[in-house]
């Protein structure tokens, strides 16, 4: 069970995509952090209490697969959801072996990402994601 506000780290080199995900999850009760590459993400995971990571696979500098491996080495139980437009069977196998919670092909829909995050938060912490946040209720 979560004792505090759930935190979500959004890691993608596309700043517009990060902003879109932030706007989707903050009204649902998340405190969000953003990283433009794996190196930034690893710094945040080391210094902040993160409950879930959304992670693009293809990024400059430190890519998503290496970031996933390092995050899992630091915090094995931290759920990581990998997103990518370039998924082939070998890549999927590597991501699964690195213990990603889930793999979402891009483009990802709002329903796909929110339902996967909701499932991960429930499985890891018993926390239910609200259907709609205060900003979208009505």
Q: Which residues contact 138 (CB under 8 A, 6 or more apart)?
A: none
Strands lying side by side in the sheet with 31-35: 31-35, 7-11, 52-56, 80-84, 102-105
Asked if residue 35 lies in contact with residue 53, where contact means CB atoms within 8 angstroms, the answer is: no
DSSP summary character for residue 128: P
Per DSSP, the residues of 1-67 read: --SS--EEEEE-S-HHHHHHHHHHHGGGT-EEEEESSHHHHHHHHHHS--SEEEEESS-SSS-HHHH
Report strand pairing: 31-35 vs 7-11. parallel
Report strand pairing: 52-56 vs 7-11. parallel
Positive or negative CA dihedral for 15, 18, 24, 28? Answer: negative
At 4 the pLDDT is 74
At 2 the pLDDT is 54
At 14 the pLDDT is 96
Residues of the chain falling short of pLDDT 50: 134-138
At 68 the pLDDT is 97
Domains and their CATH numbers in the chain: 7-125 (3.40.50.2300)
At 60 the pLDDT is 86
At 113 the pLDDT is 97
């Amino acid at each position: 069970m979560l004792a505090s506000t759930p935190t979500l780290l959004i890691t993608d080199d596309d700043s517009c995509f990060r902003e879109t995900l932030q706007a989707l999850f903050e009204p649902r009760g998340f405190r969000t952090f953003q990283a433009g590459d794996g190196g930034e993400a690893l710094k945040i995971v080391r210094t902040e209490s993160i409950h879930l990571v959304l992670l693009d696979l293809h990024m400059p500098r430190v890519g998503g697969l290496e970031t996933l491996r390092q995050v899992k080495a630091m915090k094995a139980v931290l759920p990581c959801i990998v997103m990518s437009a370039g998924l082939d069977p070998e890549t999927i196998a590597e991501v699964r072996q690195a213990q990603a919670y889930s793999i979402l092909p891009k483009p990802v829909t709002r329903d796909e990402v929110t339902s996967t995050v909701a499932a991960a938060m429930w499985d890891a912490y018993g926390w239910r994601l609200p259907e709609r946040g205060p900003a979208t209720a009505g």
